Amino acid sequence: MTWVRKAGYGLGLLVLVPVVIAARVLPWRDKYETLTGEGGRRVVAAGGRAAVLDGVEWRLKSVTEGRLADPAARPLPPRTRIAIVLTSMKPLTDQAAKKFAAGTRDCKFRVVDRAGRSWPSSFRGDLAPRNGNAGSCWTMDQDYKIVPTPAGKELTIQTVYVVPEDAFASLEVEVHLGPESRTVRLTP
Amino acid sequence: MRRAVLSVVMGVVLLAAIIGVRRATPGVDERYAPIAVSGALGEQVDTAAFQLRVDRLELGGAVRITDDYGLTGEPKSTAGIWVVVWATVAAASTSLQVQGARLRTADGSEYLASSTIGTLDKTDLSPGIPAYGPILFEIPPDRLTGAVLSVTTHSVKGLDLLGPAADVDLGLTASYATGLLQRMPPTVTVGPVRNL
């Protein structure tokens, strides 16, 4: 076997091995992202600035503390506080609005503190008044049909959390958009 | 001739080695089993996803559940005995439930926690907000001795592959278990889960 032929086999191996590994690993990576919601595309915006993902602008408007208005309401766990988070989303183009309406109705909000601990939004309706804000990435009409947000219109979304007192000061917001496992992270 | 004998001996040795390795190789269940941290009654067990401390143990012939409003339900009977494990659990970094609470008895049988709602294993746990409450099991009384509490985050074992787990020795020696059974009240009333 000449050295040219040997080099040819060597080069072939150098190409073939990564291709085989990629063919085995990449489908699992997609499954992992779908299953865990981790590892997908992520955009981060700090200092109240806007994050743009797939033509949709996201902005953290405020994180404020709430109070239980009804004295008869189920009490909060000890040493916890209510965090009321206002986030806005605005499709910047018609195409982005259509894509968002078609594919990302399942958006999940959570807050994360400096230590990496996270809390999902609470289902309790008695923690804060809604004040006309949406409860998720979409609104419904009187017939309970989803109304897509048109391009250029800002939708303010209110989510409420019960978090430990020591976490409140360092809360950031994460919006997880399925099914493509994309994440928007917003810091005050 | 000598070489042929040596070859046969080598072949037998290699065959035995292959059989040994095959038998010693852990199966799928062992390789993908949850990663368990062991502890004992009264000790805090720290797993990657939650902290657990078993505080005490009660037995009863029937249980009555008191809800969040202080209302106590009708007694729930069982063909065996009720084992009530009082524990404190906190999530480490993300919200979860400890749905995979099982009593593993000395003979290897596993009893999943009762489907009764309002117990600790059916409670949403959040980081930094520990919860204290009961986990209920129904087991035959003769299997109490040597029972160990095993806790994972899912009731379906396939979802806990290489996941976090806590194994807690409940200290149920034969004499202690016999004593508990002798002193067992006909009915035990358990309160709701509360945040600490």
| Cβ contact, residue pair A167, B128, below 8 Å | yes
Band (A143; pLDDT cuts 50, 70, 90) = confident
Distance (Å) from the alpha carbon of A171 to chain B's nearest alpha carbon: 13
Cβ distance A119 to B126 less than 8 Å, yes or no, reads yes
Task: Look up the CATH number of domain B32-195.
Answer: 2.60.40.1240
**Residue A39: what pLDDT?**
64
The closest alpha carbon to A164, from B89, B121, B126, belongs to B126
Among candidates B92, B95, B129 on the partner chain, residue whose Cβ is nearest the Cβ of A80: B129
Residues of chain B with pLDDT under 70: none
Give burial (CB, 10 Å; 0-12/13-18/19+) of A31: exposed
For B24, residues 6+ apart whose C-beta sits below 8 A from its C-beta are none
Separation in Å, CA of B76 to nearest CA in chain A: 27
- What is the strand order of the sheet A118-120 is part of? A42-45, A182-186, A172-177, A107-112, A118-120
CA B37 – CA B46 distance, rounded (Å): 7
CB A85 within 8 A of CB A173: yes
Rounded Cα distance, B71 and B51, in Å:
30
Indicate if the pLDDT at residue A185 is higher than 60: yes
Preferred mutation among A119, A162, A171 to probe B, highest tally of B CBs within 10 A: A119
pLDDT average, residue stretch A55-75: 89
Q: pLDDT tens across A66-123, in order? A: 998 888 888 899 999 999 999 999 999 998 888 888 765 678 899 999 999 999 999 8
What tokens were used for A47? Answer: 């200092």
Residue A22, pLDDT above cutoff 70:
yes
Q: Which residue of A has its CA nearest to B126?
A: A119
CB distance B143 to B105 below 8 Å: yes
CA of A164: which chain B residue's CA is closest? Answer: B128
**Inter-chain residue contact A164 with B94, CB threshold 8 Å:** no
List chain B domain ranges: 1-27, 32-195
Whether A164 sits inside 8 A of B129 (CB atoms) is: yes
Predicted confidence (pLDDT) per residue in B42-99, tens digit: 999 999 999 999 999 999 999 999 988 888 989 999 999 999 999 999 999 999 999 9
Out of A77, A120, A167, closest to residue B195 by CB: A77
Most confident of A3-12, A134-143, B102-111: B102-111
- Given a cut of 70, whether residue A33 has pLDDT beyond it is no
A170 touches chain B (CB under 8 A): no
Residues of chain B positioned with their CB less than 8 A from the CB of A82: none
A179: cis peptide before it, omega within 30°? yes
Interface of B with A in 35-94 (CB under 8 A): 68, 92-94
Sign, CA torsion B51/B57/B61/B66:
negative
Say whether residue A78 is in contact with chain B using an 8 A CB cutoff. yes
Structural contact between residues B43 and B37, judged by C-beta atoms closer than 8 angstroms: no
Q: CB-based contact (8 Å) between A47 and chain B?
A: no
B196 in A contact zone (CB under 8 Å): yes
Given this model, what pLDDT does residue A105 score?
Answer: 65
Query: Would you report the helix, strand and coil content of chain A in percent, each value rounded to 5?
Result: 25, 35, 40
The SS3 call for residue A41 is: coil
Beta strands A146-147 and A139-140, pairing class? antiparallel
